[in-house]
Amino acid sequence: MRLGVLDVGSNTVHLLVVDAHPGARPVHKTSTKAVLRLMKYLEPDGSISDDGIERIMETMRAAAEHIAAANLDELLPMATSALREATNGPKLLKRIRKECGIDLQVMSGADEARVTFLAARRWLGWAAGRIQLIDIGGGSLELAIGSDELPEFAMSLPLGAGRMTKTFLTDDPPTQDELEKLQAHIDEILPDAVAKFTELRQPDQVVGSSKTIRSLARLAGSQVEGLGGNTMTSLYRWQLEDWMPRLAQLPSDSRHALPGITQDRAFQIVGGGTVLLSVMRALDIEKLDVSPWAMREGVLLDYLDRLPDDSPHAKKKKK
C-alpha cells in the first residue's frame, strides 16, 4: 500500500511517501519539504505569531495539494514540539483540520523518542546489541536506550537546535557571551537526564539521528562501507570538538558552503552542535553512528506493526 507521513516539525513540513506492507522495508517514492522555522515566530507568551500562523497555513495548503496528488492509501499526519507547546496550538490545529482537511496528531516527546528508537533499531539490526539514541530536532532533544525494539527508557528535553538558536544565539555569528549562556543553560538541564541514564546498563552502541546530527557527521565525521553497500557514517567526540569553535566563528551564510551543512540548517547548526557535544560529554560518549532512518520512518514502521491481522493489507501480504 502507499503510505504518506506528514511531519510538521519546528523547522520543516515534510511529506514522505513510500510503498510498504507489514514485514517489508518501506520503498521510498517521493519526498516533499518546505522550510518553516517555526521557532522564529514564537512570541514571549509561547504563542505562534500571526505571521507564523499565515506561514503555516500557506505551507499546509500546499501540503494538502501534494497529498491529494499522491494517491495515498493512508496518511499519517503528525506535529511535534513547536505545535505541541504553542499556547495557540490547539486553535491552529482546528483551523488546519477545517481549511486543509488534515487532522494533525500531536506527538508527545516520549512518543517521538519511542518511534525514532524503533527506526534506529530496525536500521541497525539486532547485531547492534543494546543501543542508545540521540535525536536533536528543532524544538526538542530525544534520548532513549534499550535492548529491544522499543526503548527501556526514553525522554524528551526542550533542547532543540532551533529553540536554542532563537533563545540564545541571536547574533550571526554568535558572540562568546551568547555561547557561554547557551552552554550554561544546557548544563542546567542535562544533569537530571544524565543521572537517569547512568543508572541503567550502558549501551553497546550509540546512534544519532535527525538532520542536525547527519549534517554534523557529514561535515566532521568518518565514513566506511557498511553491509549491503550502504555507507556507515560515524562521528567521534574529538571531531566535533575540533569543528565546533570554527563553526561558531562563521556567519550562517558561510556555513552552508561546508560539506553537509544545508542552507536551511546553517543558522541553527551551532546551537544543535553545542547540544550534541554537551550530551556526548555528559554521557561520556566517544563515538556515535548515524542512522538515516528517524522519526518519520519510525511512524511508518509503528503503523505497519499495528495493522490487525484481518486488515485488507495484512491479508494481502499472507497471500
| CA 303 vs CA 4, 21, 119, 231: distances in Å | 11, 10, 12, 27
Q: What CA–CA distance (Å, rounded) separates 190 from 176?
A: 21
Give residue 317's pLDDT: 46
DSSP, collapsed to helix, strand or coil, labels residue 207 as strand
Three-state secondary structure call for residue 85: helix
Would you tell me the crossing angle of helices 269-282 and 237-249 to the nearest 10 degrees? 150
Q: 65 with 72: CB under 8 angstroms?
A: no
Q: How far apart are CA 282 and CA 134, in angstroms?
A: 13
Q: What digits encode the pLDDT tens for the residues 64-91?
A: 999 999 999 999 999 998 899 999 999 9
In the predicted model, is pLDDT for residue 61 greater than 90? yes
Q: What is the pTM of this model?
A: 0.92
Whether the ω angle into residue 251 lies within 30 degrees of 0, i.e. cis, is no
For the chain, the first-to-last Cα distance in angstroms comes to: 15
Cell numbers 557571551: residue: 177
Grid cell digits, residue 179: 555561547
Task: Say yes or no to pLDDT of 93 above 90.
Answer: yes
Average pLDDT of the residues in 4-14: 93
What is the C-alpha to C-alpha distance for residues 287 and 284, in angstroms, rounded to an integer? 9
Rounded distance between C-alpha atoms, residue 227 and residue 126, angstroms: 14
Q: What is the pLDDT of residue 227?
A: 58
Q: What is the pLDDT of residues 176-231, one digit of tens each?
A: 999 999 999 999 999 999 999 999 999 999 999 999 999 999 999 988 766 555 67
**Taking a C-beta distance cutoff of 8 angstroms, is the pair 195, 272 a contact?**
no
Q: What is the DSSP string of 104-118?
A: PEEPPHHHHHHHHHH
Return the SS3 of 225: strand
User: What is residue 319's predicted lDDT score, i.e. its pLDDT?
Assistant: 43
Length of the chain equals 319
pLDDT band per the 50, 70, 90 thresholds, residue 303: very high
Mean pLDDT of 268-289: 97
- Using only the alpha carbons of the chain, give its radius of gyration: 19
Instruction: Provide the pLDDT for residue 226.
Output: 61
